Chain A
């Protein structure tokens, strides 16, 4: 029993990380049809800059962590918005070329991160409470998992509220539904594009800081490894669906944890098999719109 609780809650924590990456990916894809390979780099830069800030303030205090999270989100948003503005926008509606540009950006930025921060992982110190465990139903659960879950839920709620109750949220939702119609109504969707990139980048940057706590280190490849699972999550959840991304994040991460524990560390393979199964039974994903 305690093992199952442990696996479930750790799975939820990992799912929270996946969601922070996948939410942006899914929104960007839903609105613009862009598969953003540079999304992992938004996460990595958020993690590195957040770590640099936390290190300078004071090591391991709560408010240094809060500052790091804020910085990570802001940096992620800025870098993402700049990417959209300078690279993606020039290739408007040329989707394959947009993918190629983000691939180039991902390769170049990872190399640049390695050049600046080195190839070895940089270890981070976080508030000591996060390194301890709490006992729930006999399972000793690392506290940072709770923080991950809480932050991801807050992000989910914030994005949903933003989409539901603001004018830009309305434009984005309408744009995901039918971009041509929104343009025909005289609304400049391109501003919404930049905004969606910024939101996705902020979630990824925040995710970067949290990932550095989850793994205990930052490296130039931290974003790339999470990105692949985020891709799988977005496909399983249904491209363009935020709720789908949230559900699939949890399913994928929990499946991964259980397979890792009970089936001899085959979590990654189990996830790919799940993806294959979903594609065979329901190619559009759990909550995806009809293709």
Chain B
């Protein structure tokens, strides 16, 4: 732990510089062909980057569960969907006359985050009664139930298969429309920074230490006289609230949400992102999300290109399916690169340490 924070000043300075660069990006004209669809100030690129940052925020909240607490949840998409659908439903139904328009919007977001927290606390209180693989299956079942509810369109609120469109009557004008993509980009960046700071704070808090200790050796923690259940539940609920925040921003960014985000497959994508980036590392989750989102976008663009269409079937079919390539890449990372992408970059400085640590964490997590 010591070596990681050996020079906190440089770390903070580097992080601040990166955030500053991200802040200025919409004002700059940087083109990276093959990575971005256009120069950085265009709405298309900003939309993609904002999307990637929200996925990064979501991956960070998942990192709290999987990386920090060693809880392999397959139901995290539920809380992201709760945030996206929750904000949409709250904005449509919640318009008290005594609140000014701007305050209504802020209140709606706070209510949404609270919904995420309470929902996660409820789901967690049941599913945390079991651990390990059973926990994974139970969270998957809850996510599936959520997905079913969303598709069933109860009371005409979620819009069923067609999804929900954002009701903009209470949303500030600066956050509506393609012309304001820049503002939405900044909003997404803010969400990512907030989620990052909360995750950092939780990791450094007493609860974070307890839950990390539980990941390593639950029996030991019990012997000391701490009940892991409540601490795990707290972490689960915080992760749910953060996911709901990311989901709420997602609704604003996309000005709508489809039932796809409620499916268990979406959680699997999240798992892929966290492992791809490097389990147990905050930067890993962010890096994994950005790389995954950009890869997904570029591969989809590639799949529709004429180059692919001209290939023989044996090459064309696999290459035209982005998820096939990403899934294969994921398998290769799990088999040959246990520390993920973040482990790869760290390897040069401190040989093998992160990868071994990541591997040990996985080993420990399964024994809990």
Q: Give the interface of A toward B (CB within 8 A).
A: 29, 33, 35, 37, 87, 90-91, 94-97, 99-101, 103-112, 114-116, 224, 228, 231-232, 234-235, 239, 265, 268-269, 271-272, 275-276, 279-280, 283
Provide the bound-state CA to CA distance between A112 and B314, in Å.
11
Q: With contacts A107-B323, A268-B145 known, is A35 near B133, CB below 8 A?
A: yes
Q: Are A101 and B133 in contact (CB under 8 A)?
A: no
Is the CB of B321 closer than 8 A to any CB of chain A?
Answer: yes
Stretch binding the partner chain, chosen from B32-40, B252-260, B328-336 = B328-336
Residue interface mask B159-194, A partner, CB < 8 A = 1 = 000000000000000000000000000000000000
Stretch at the interface among B1-9, B108-116, B135-143: B135-143
A101 touches B331 (CB 8 A): yes
CB distance A275 to B138 under 8 Å?
yes
**Contact status B363-A94, CB under 8 Å:** yes
Main secondary structure of the interface of A (DSSP, over half): helix
Report, nearest first, the 8 A-B pairs whose CB atoms are least far apart: A108-B327, A111-B323, A107-B327, A111-B324, A111-B321, A104-B331, A104-B330, A115-B317
Measured between C-beta atoms, what is the minimum distance from A289 to chain B in Å?
A: 12
Q: Are A232 and B130 in contact (CB under 8 A)?
A: no
Chain B residue, CB-CB nearest to A275 = B141
CB-nearest residue of chain A to B364: A96
A245 to chain B, nearest CB (A): 13
Interchain Cβ contacts within 8 Å, total number: 128
Given contacts A29-B133, A275-B141, A283-B129, 8 further A-B contacts (CB under 8 A): A91-B334, A103-B272, A107-B269, A109-B327, A224-B265, A231-B137, A268-B144, A269-B148
- Bound: A224/B268 CA distance, A: 12
Say yes or no: B142 contacts A272, CB within 8 Å.
Answer: yes
Contact A228 B323 (CB under 8 A): no
B317 touches A116 (CB 8 A): yes
In the assembly, what is the distance between CA of A269 and CA of B363, in Å?
Answer: 34
B129 touches A96 (CB 8 A): no
Interface residues of B in 312-368 (CB under 8 A from A): 317-318, 320-324, 326-328, 330-331, 334-335, 338, 359, 362-363, 365-366
Contact of A112 with B268 at beta-carbon distance under 8 Å, contacts A97-B334, A272-B142 already known: no
Q: Mark B255-286, 1 if CB is under 8 A from A, else 0.
A: 00000000011001101100100000000000
- The reply to whether B145 and A269 contact each other, CB–CB distance below 8 Å, is yes
Query: From residue A22, how far is it (CB to closest CB) to chain B in Å?
Result: 11
Chain A residues, CB < 8 A from B21: none
8 contacts between A and B (CB under 8 A): A91-B334, A95-B366, A96-B366, A115-B317, A235-B138, A239-B133, A276-B126, A279-B129
Given contacts A96-B366, A103-B272, A228-B140, contact A239 B334 (CB under 8 A): no
The closest CB in chain B to the CB of A232 belongs to B141
CB <8 Å contact, B331 and A87: yes
Instruction: Give the complex CA separation of A271 and B326 in angstroms.
Output: 32
* B104 surroundings in chain A (CB, below 8 A): none
The reply on B149 being an interface residue by CB < 8 A is yes
Number of interface residues of B (CB under 8 A): 45
- B31 at the A interface (CB under 8 A): no
Nearest chain A CB to B117's CB is how many angstroms away?
19
Contacts of A33 in B (CB 8 A): 133, 366
Check: B134 CB closer than 8 A to any chain A CB. yes
Q: List B residues at the A interface (Cβ < 8 Å).
A: 72, 126-127, 129-130, 133-134, 136-138, 140-142, 144-145, 148-149, 152, 264-265, 268-269, 271-272, 275, 317-318, 320-324, 326-328, 330-331, 334-335, 338, 359, 362-363, 365-366
B83 to chain A minimum Cβ distance, whole angstroms, is 21
A96 lies within 8 A of B134 (CB): no
State whether B334 touches A108 (Cβ < 8 A): no
The CA-CA distance from A103 to B338 in the complex, in Å, is 15
Q: Is the CB of A87 within 8 A of B335?
A: yes
Contact call B328/A108, Cβ cutoff below 8 A: yes
A4 → B minimal CB distance (Å):
25
Contact A114 B321 (CB under 8 A): yes
- Residues in A neighbouring B363, C-beta threshold 8 A: 94, 96
Measured CB to CB, the closest approach of chain B to A85, in angstroms, equals 14
Interchain nearest-CB distance for A179 vs B (Å): 15
Q: How far is the CA of A115 from the CA of B320 in the complex (A)?
A: 7
The interface residues of chain B lying within 8 Å CB-to-CB of A114 are 321
- A272–B264 CA distance with the chains assembled, in angstroms: 14
Query: Which single residue of chain A is at the shortest CB-CB distance from B362?
Result: A96
A135 and B307 alpha carbons, distance in the complex (Å): 58
Determine if A104 and B272 form an interchain contact, defined as CB atoms under 8 angstroms apart.
Answer: yes
Per the bound structure, the CA–CA distance linking A37 and B74 in Å amounts to: 11
Contact partners of B148 in chain A: CB under 8 A: 268-269
Q: Is the CB of A115 within 8 A of B321?
A: yes
In the complex the two chains form, what is the Cα distance from A224 to B335 in whole Å? 23
B321 CB contacts on chain A under 8 angstroms: 111-112, 114-115
**With the chains together, A103 CA to B326 CA distance in Å?**
12
Residues B331 and A115 in contact, CB atoms below 8 Å apart = no
Would you give the shortest CB distance from A220 to chain B, in whole angstroms?
10
**CB nearest neighbor in B for A221:** B265
Contact A100 B275 (CB under 8 A): yes
Q: Are A96 and B272 in contact (CB under 8 A)?
A: no
Do A96 and B324 form a contact, CB below 8 Å, given A33-B133, A231-B141, A279-B129? no
**Chain A residues closer than 8 Å to B145, beta-carbon distance:** 268-269, 272
Tell me the minimal C-beta distance from B76 to chain A in angstroms. 13
Does the CB pair A228–B264 fall under 8 Å? yes
Q: Return the chain B residue nearest A87 by Cβ.
A: B331
Known: A99-B136, A101-B335. A107 touches B320 (CB 8 A): no
Contact B362 A97 (CB under 8 A): yes
Q: Which residues of the other chain, B, contact A234 by a CB distance below 8 angstroms?
A: 137
Assess the A112–B335 pair: CB atoms within 8 A: no
With A103-B268, A103-B271, A114-B321 as contacts: A279 and B130 at CB distance below 8 Å: yes
With the chains together, A35 CA to B130 CA distance in Å? 15
CA distance A180 to B21 in the complex (A): 55
